[in-house]
Structure formats: structure tokens, C-alpha cells
Amino acid sequence: MSHSPTITLHPIMPSLSDNNRLSLFSGSANLPLAQEVARYLGMDVGPMIRKKFADGELYIQIQESIRGCDVYLIQPCCHPVNDHLMELLIMVDACRRASARQITAVIPYYAYGRADRKTAGRESITAKLVANLITEAGAHRVLAMDLHSAQIQGYFDIPFDHVYGSPVLLDYLASKQLEDLVVVSPDVGGVARARAFAKKLNGAPLAIIDKRRQAHNVAEVLNLIGDVQGKTAVLVDDMIDTAGTILEGARLLREHGARQVYACATHAVFSGPAISRLSSGMLEEVIVTNTIPVPEEHRFEQLTVISVANLIGEAIWRIHEDTSVSSMFR
């Protein structure tokens, strides 16, 4: 399978002036990713004290002057979600009170994004609530990767840059030189994501799984739209949580004659029974990125973790230099 690069990165050492310095800090959610981003930018992660009081309250103190700086705070809101979200808000507030010129919340994984609209009475739209919290804390801009739904960008009244993990996933798949590919959306809501993915894979055909969810984290697969007979199927989603959708989807694809089944997702949430389901033998390989850290106890033979640090680093560099971020993905 022929392959052309999906993105061009330019690792350039930033020329930081006294009036427009770039500072990078990391919360506790994914320090290794932040360190990789810092290496790409040719700098260090800034020093910060993080403490937790006996009752669970968090304390944050920035350990260097950031007056007049452009500050980037890297913090995916992964498990434990509420602690990491609160830590992000406190970091933003600390930087605002330290007279940072501009504060950008870099959120590789945006929590509470699944509740992006009301589907029943008396529900909260938590995706909008989190947007309000981040804005009110004092962030001037947000950089996030692979939102659960793109409409979440509209919940913010501050600039929002949305980047995608698909380039690194596509590059990895291309390196495997798989033949007779068909890209599969695990539900109707993910069709746009899967179609864009298929287009980048030399216009691979698209299949859709018709799924009805009876409860949160419980999926019932009903039908397959498209032909996967004798093909290598690639399931594409934004996240893998309990892996129920992926497992049932893989089983359905096997029943319809798929020769091999791969799963690709940006965010490895991996809750509850996810590991046992993903390692059950239904999937040749599970390909995810490191937006969320994957601990050793969650790793298994079929798992491949690919870094998005260069993508995030390039986006930060372009924001800092006031150049186009969207052109990275054209």
C-alpha cells in the first residue's frame, strides 16, 4: 500500500524573547508526555510544587517567575478524572495570579465530553460545564486532541485549537502494509471520523456498525452496513473505555467474514473489564496513543502505544508563533 506523509513537523528551537517567553508546565496526569513535548520544543518542563492535604485538597505553586510569559499547561483529565480536572483548574488560577501574559490549557484528553447534549430530561451537559470551569479559572486558550464530539469547541468563548491523533495512527498502519483494508465505524456517531480516516488510507472502503446503547457503558450491536468479507477491518474510535463496543464490533466483523480485525483509538481510557476484553483474541492488534498514560498492569501482548508528543509540541510552537495549526493536517 502506497503511503504519503499525513503531517509535516518542524522541530525548531524556539527563539524566546524577554517579552514573549514560552513556559511549559505539567500536572501529575501525564508527566512523561509533557517531558516528550518539552524535548521536542528544546526546553524543560517548569518546576512546580504539587501537594495534597490530608482531606484531599490540592495545593499548587509555580516555582519560577512567569510574569509576562505565554504559559502552556499540559494535563489530560484522565483517571482519577475529578482530581486531574481540579488540578488543571488550580494550575490555571495560579498562573493567572502570577501575571502570565497568556495561559493555554493543553488537554490531550478532555473529560466529561460524552455528555455533550441532553438525551433525556433532567440531565447535565457536563461538556459545557467543564468548558465554563476552564474559562472562569482564567484560561485564555485551549488546545485539545480528538474531542468526543467536535461541537464541544463551540462551548468555549475563548480560542480553541482542536488537533487529531490520526496522523500517527495512520503512519503506523501504513508501515504495516496491510492489504484489502476496510475502515469500520463502531457506531453511526463516528462515521465522519471513520470516513476521514478511510480517505487518508488511499480511499479505503467504509463499513458502519449499527449499535444501540441500552445503558452507559453497555452496548448492543445489531447490524453491519458494508462488506468486510475476506478483508482486514480497522475499527476506528476516539476512545476505548470498557471496550464493550470494540469487542462486540470485532465479534460481528468476524461473523461477517473479516480476515483480520485491528482497533485504533486515540484515548486509552481502559476502565473495568477493558483489558480482558481487548486481550481475548478477537483483535490482531489494539493501537492507541499516549494522551492517557498506560500503566504496566494495563499492557498486553496485542497493545501498541504511539506517542503524540511531537504533534502536541508542533501545535504549541505554531500557537506561540501565531501560525496556522489546521495546516498541520492538510
**Catalytic site positions:** 211
Q: Which residues contact 48 (CB under 8 A, 6 or more apart)?
A: 25, 26, 60, 61, 62, 63, 91
Q: Which of 278, 313, 297 is nearest to 108 (CA)?
A: 313
Q: Which of 283, 310, 304, 305 is nearest to 145 (CA)?
A: 310
Q: How far apart are CA 120 and CA 135, in angstroms?
A: 27
Q: By 3-state DSSP, what share of the chain in percent is helix, strand and coil, each rounded to 5?
A: 30, 25, 40
- The runs of H, that is alpha helices, within the chain are 31-41, 81-97, 126-137, 166-176, 191-200, 244-255, 274-278, 309-320
Count CB atoms within 10 A of the CB of residue 301. 7
Count CB atoms within 10 A of the CB of residue 104. 27
